[in-house]
Amino acid sequence: MGQTVLVTGGSGYIGSHACVALLEAGHTVIVLDNLSNSSEIALQRVHQICARAPLFIHADIRDAAALAAVFEAHEVDAVMHFAGLKAVGESVTMPLSYYDNNVTGSLVLLQAMEAAGVNNIVFSSSATVYGDPASVPIGENSPLNPTSPYGWTKMMVERVLTDWQHADAGRSVALLRYFNPVGAHPSGLIGEDPRGFPNNLMPFISQVAVGERDKLHVFGDDYATLDGTGVRDYIHVLDLVDGHLKALDFVAAKPGLHTINLGTGQGVSVLQMVAAFEQASGRQIPYAVVARRPGDIAQCWADPARARHLLQWEAQRDLTQMCADSWRWQQGNPCGYR
Ligand code: NAD
Ligand code: UFG
């Protein structure tokens, strides 16, 4: 049965891919986004891919009146909550913006949901809540130890959602802890479009490949990993959003609090990623090893067993496909949506 889903942050990188998956699955989609880190063109592209459009509301999640109006005008069954700020380094210099957008924004959203009697929410959390893990793979019961204001906002919102669910057994919450989302829709029409200097590895590599930047800086090659460079669990954004659709059905079927890692369970080093991208693009990626980036951890990958067990979900797409799809998006849109 199709649901009506409010997607906060739906014009962003992951949100726009979620809109495609939701529309393709027959759901009705309402996007609420303030466009602070995205473009409405992403939603036009979603329309192009699906031949159906989400309803777009240009508003901020901290705007209680705007949220009340959405819930009054539509019978919303569930919320997918992507909206928020996500740059780790920026969160250190602008912590109040992060607490305001991510924590206050989530509180205002939940108050509006509660007033409207909307009980189901799927929340974008992050593996960053684990901080520097004592061991890998990381299971959901590993200690939480965020190392940045951004990470603390995710942990705080998890806490708020936990208490909100505990207050009423009819409520249902999925806390989805993403590992490292990469890749793009295979149409090449939507993808990751960072503003300014990319903080993350995959957009940086693809900008080097397309000639937007000279070379990649590899942040340290003296970690205790297979080749000395940082190891992460990269997950194709389409697999990630498939996990969200499974979680949407799961929260509807099983009211409760569900904390679930979304990762592949495989670690990939920076140099392995460079090699895979060179293979997929047929371009050389010049790089230089520089100092470690402050706050980085050596390695991090998920134990995805709970997602397999609860959601019957497993990542399907390999590193070759992640690189090929990122490359198609980057080549077709060298300046993103601009
Ligand atoms: P994104 O920046 O592309 O998307 C976030 C969207 O939220 C943007 O469209 C932005 O305009 C919107 N937004 C921000 N603040 C808002 C506000 N106050 N009101 C309304 N809209 C607002 O980021 P993304 O990569 O798509 O990430 C989506 C979610 O997933 C975020 O919550 C992020 O923290 C989380 N996450 C992302 C990653 C990653 O590596 N991309 C990893 C773990 C978790
Ligand atoms: N790296 C480089 N050069 C770059 C960028 C990154 O060598 O220009 C390296 C990093 O040192 C790290 C790896 O590539 O070893 C991945 O770095 P990213 O910045 O792409 O990803 P992180 O794992 O540091 O962080 C990301 C998101 C966080 C999220 C976390 C866990 O930025 O928001 O994944 O999901 F919390």
Q: What is the pLDDT of residues 148-162, one digit of tens each?
A: 999 999 999 999 999
Annotation marks residue 150 as catalytic: yes
Of all protein residues, the one whose alpha carbon is nearest to atom 4 of ligand 1 is 12
In sequence order, what are the residues at sequence separation of 6 or more whose Cβ sits closer than 8 angstroms to the Cβ of residue 266? 233, 301
**Is 329 a domain residue?**
no
| Paired tokens of 294 | 């402050």
- Find the DSSP H helices in 259-302: 270-281
Buried b (16+ CB within 10 A) or exposed e, 105-131: bbbbbbebbeebebbbbbbbbbbbbbb
What residues are in contact with ligand 1 under a 6 Å CB criterion?
A: 9, 11-15, 33-38, 60-62, 82-86, 101, 105, 124, 126, 178, 180-181
Site to substitute for ligand 1 among 37, 41, 108, 234, most atoms within 8 A of C-beta: 37
Q: Whose CA is closest to 37, among 101, 96, 100, 80? A: 101
**Is 225 a domain residue?**
no
Domain count, the chain: 1
Q: Check whether 25 has a pLDDT greater than 90.
A: yes
Residue 47 belongs to domain spanning: 4-183+234-263
Strands 268-269 and 231-232, sheet pairing: antiparallel
Q: Whose CA is closest to 6, among 107, 66, 81? A: 81
**Contact (Cβ atoms closer than 8 angstroms) between residue 124 and residue 176:** yes
**Is 162 a domain residue?**
yes
**Is 140 a domain residue?**
yes
**Is 331 a domain residue?**
no
**Is 330 a domain residue?**
no
**Measured distance CA(90)–CA(59) in Å, rounded:** 23
**Measured distance CA(277)–CA(190) in Å, rounded:** 19
**Is 218 a domain residue?**
no
**Is 121 a domain residue?**
yes
**Contact (Cβ atoms closer than 8 angstroms) between residue 30 and residue 94:** no
For the stretch 196-217, pLDDT in tens is: 889 999 999 999 999 999 999 9
| Residue 244 belongs to domain with CATH number | 3.40.50.720
pTM: 0.98
For the stretch 163-172, pLDDT in tens is: 999 999 999 9
Q: Which residues pair with 232 in a beta bridge?
A: 268
How many Å lie between the centroid of ligand 1 and the Cα of residue 255?
A: 25
- Using 50, 70 and 90 to split pLDDT, how confident is the model at 321? very high
Whether the CB of 259 sits within 6 Å of ligand 2: no
In sequence order, what are the residues at sequence separation of 6 or more whose Cβ sits closer than 8 angstroms to the Cβ of residue 16? 10, 38, 42, 43, 45, 46, 190
For the stretch 247-291, pLDDT in tens is: 999 999 999 999 999 999 999 999 999 999 999 999 999 999 999
Q: Kindly report the number of other CB atoms within 10 A of residue 239's CB atom.
A: 20
